[in-house]
Amino acid sequence: MRNARHTTRDTQYTAMIILARLVKLIGPFRWWIALGVLLSFATTGASVGLMAMSAYLISKAAIVTSAVDLTLIITAVRFFAISRAVLRYAERYTNHKATFRILTRLRVWFYAAIEPLAPARLLEYRSGDLLSRTIADIETLENFYLRVVIPPLAAALVTVLACLLLGSFDVWLGVALLIFILLTGVVLPLMTRWLSSASAHELISTRAEMNAALVDEMQGMADLVAYGAEERQQARVLGLSEHLYRAQERLALVRGMGNGLGALLTGMAGLTVLIIAIPLVTSGAIDGVYLALLPLTAIVAFEAVQPLAQSFQMLEASQAAAKRIFELIDVAPAVSDPVAPQEQPAEFSIVVQDLTFSYTPAESPVLQLANLTVPAGVTAILIGPNGSGKSTFVNLLLRFWDYDLGEIRLGGHDLHLYRADDIRRWVSVVPQRTHLFNVSIRDNLYVADPDASEEAIINACQVAQIDDFISTLPLGYETLVGENGVRLSGGERQRLAIARAVLRNAPVLILDEATSQLDAVTEEKVLVGLTNFMMGRTTIVITQRISRALPNSRVVSLH
């Protein structure tokens, strides 16, 4: 069974399928790509023209008696020299602008694809691995446009131009050039691709593993130091870094070998054209003034062909990065929205009937035949020990995970009838662990309501009993909270989370151990501040103990 799944997975991500999906992704930019190809061709074409006319000018100057005979040739040399510079700038500008647009689309597309997977599916991946896919793998695909798509198309056009130019003098000149171009632009790239295939895939996988290890090290630095394990972790990261370096070294070696062989073949092409051309000149088939033009034109034509060896190498890296990206976005979301979603209910009662749920089929149920009733506008105190499924119930209510057995009804309708985004707009949760972004206190509050007024922000913080603390800070609400709120204490983070929930002003409020890190006095003040806010709002206070009786409240349990 395992082998069957593995075979299906490999079939799904074959090289041709990955390539087709990559091409489809950049499809909206096809006119940019076409313009880039034409500009690249025109730039190299101007180089060919400049070299050809320069060689012809030098040869012609040796035999003419009047400078007037060179006027047209000199003008052509100037034209190709100026146009080459202008076209090179236009080509670089166009291609890089198109690249940045493609990268922007890829990032937005990737985020939009993985957003429905959070949090259920993304918990199956390490955060460092997700970071690597989001940043490094996406940026690797930049080379797909610049180094994989453009060069072969431009090289094909330049090859046709150069072969026709030499073939106009003698067909064997064009044939000789075509043979060396095929060796340099097809045979050599295929060889370098074969040699770099394993190293390219190893580079992508090792880089992802090292990024994951670095994130683990940064997040767990305090614990590593406390237990004296920092040297072991450092040795692991250094080992991965060495592994990554070796893969990069092998790729550089293949790239250098390809560049060297490409230069050798370029020189041999020029020499071969010269050898073929000399008898043609001596026999009078070709005017001797063109003898220097022919090999130099052949050599400069390779300007468009030599990058193809790197293109094939970049193709391997792009396919490896794309495979990791597609593997993630192709994961089916844990929750799907109904085709015809239910509108907002008239009231927000919560009823749970015979709910059974486990996170994986192999695990024992976290909730088994659980029942709960919370009438609309009532404050329910949900009590239970650790592991009794209280937080799991919240995850199911927010539709982070989906249940198959039993039923949850919100406002009299089954939860499956609502869109997940609608439910999350109606339900405001203060979780046990609140994530705070490394921005200001104000910006962290804007997460709940980006359009909140200053009065609403201050009022929410007053309800959460944190406004006085913020007022003592030198920068007030503009104070940066640090990575995940590291500059704040646990209690301050909890109160900021409560303020965020108050600012959200949703009809359903859930406090999941929201005051567990507060001292008794502060907890009392926060609950008093929340009393008026909870009036008329369906509220569930999840706790392991009852520290204080709340007005209009009842004690319930999942049973």
pLDDT digits (tens, 9 = 90+) for 538-555: 999 888 766 555 667 778
Q: What pLDDT does residue 549 have?
A: 56
Give the model's pLDDT for residue 502.
93
Reported as a single tens digit per residue, the pLDDT across 373-391 is: 999 988 888 887 777 788 8
Instruction: Quote the percentage of the chain above a pLDDT of 70.
Output: 96
**All domains of the chain in start order, with CATH:** 18-329 (1.20.1560.10), 350-556 (3.40.50.300)
Given this model, what pLDDT does residue 171 score? Answer: 92
User: How confident is the model at residue 545, as a pLDDT?
Assistant: 66
Amino acid symbol at 431:
P
DSSP letter assigned to residue 357: E
Q: Does residue 211 carry a pLDDT above 70?
A: yes
Mean pLDDT confidence for 275-304: 87
**pLDDT exceeds 70 at position 192:** yes
pLDDT score at 551? 65
Burial 389-403 (b: 16+ CB within 10 A, else e): bbbbbbbbbbbbbeb
- Residue 56 and residue 287 in contact, taking contact as beta carbons nearer than 8 Å: no
Over residues 169-188, the mean pLDDT reads 90
Instruction: Note the pLDDT of residue 547.
Output: 56
DSSP secondary structure code for residue 123 in this structure: G
Q: Higher pLDDT residue, 259 or 178?
A: 178
Q: Sheet harboring 553-556: ordered strands across? A: 427-430, 508-512, 538-543, 379-383, 553-556
Spatial separation of the C-alpha atoms in residues 156 and 446, rounded to whole Å: 54
- What's the whole-number mean pLDDT along residues 5-27? 70
Q: How confident is the model at residue 117 (pLDDT cuts 50, 70, 90)?
A: confident
Query: Is the full-model pTM beyond 0.75?
Result: no
Spatial distance between the Cα atoms of 372 and 407, rounded to a whole number of angstroms = 10
Query: What does the alpha-carbon distance between residue 252 and residue 558 come to, in Å, rounded to a whole number?
Result: 61
How far, CA to CA in Å, does 330 sit from each of 18, 121, 131? 12, 11, 17
Please check whether residue 197 is in contact with residue 316, taking contact to mean a CB–CB distance below 8 angstroms.
Answer: yes
What distance in Å separates the CA atoms of residue 271 and residue 283, rounded to the nearest whole number?
19
Predicted local confidence at residue 548, as pLDDT: 57
Q: Given CA atoms 303, 307, 308, 309 in this order, what sign does their dihedral have? A: positive
The whole-chain average pLDDT of the chain stands at 85
Report the run of H or E that residue 365 belongs to, with start and end. Answer: none
Residue 11 has pLDDT above 60, yes or no: no
Q: What residues have CB less than 8 Å from 186, skipping those under 6 apart?
A: 308
Higher pLDDT, 361 or 466: 466
Name the least confident of 50-54, 218-222, 492-496.
218-222
Of 236 and 92, the one with more pLDDT: 92
The answer to whether 503 touches 460, Cβ cutoff 8 Å, is: yes
Integer Cα distance of 99 and 83 in angstroms: 24
- The 10 Å CB-count burial string (b at 16+, else e) for 247-281 is beebbeebbebbbebbeebbeebbebbbebbeebb
The amino acid at 392 = T
The pLDDT value recorded for residue 196 is 78
User: With 60 as the cut, is the pLDDT of residue 10 above it?
Assistant: no
User: What is the predicted pLDDT for the residue at 8?
Assistant: 43
Task: Say if residue 271's pLDDT is above 50.
Answer: yes
DSSP state of 546: -
Q: How would residue 134 be classed by pLDDT, with cut points 50, 70 and 90?
A: confident
For the range 126-129, what are the long-range contacts, defined as Cβ-Cβ under 8 Å and sequence gap of 24 or more?
126/212, 126/215, 126/216, 127/212, 127/215, 127/219, 128/208, 128/211, 128/212, 128/213, 128/214, 128/215, 128/216, 129/208, 129/209, 129/211, 129/212
The kind and range of the H/E element at 215 are helix 188-219
Q: Is the pLDDT of residue 5 over 60?
A: no
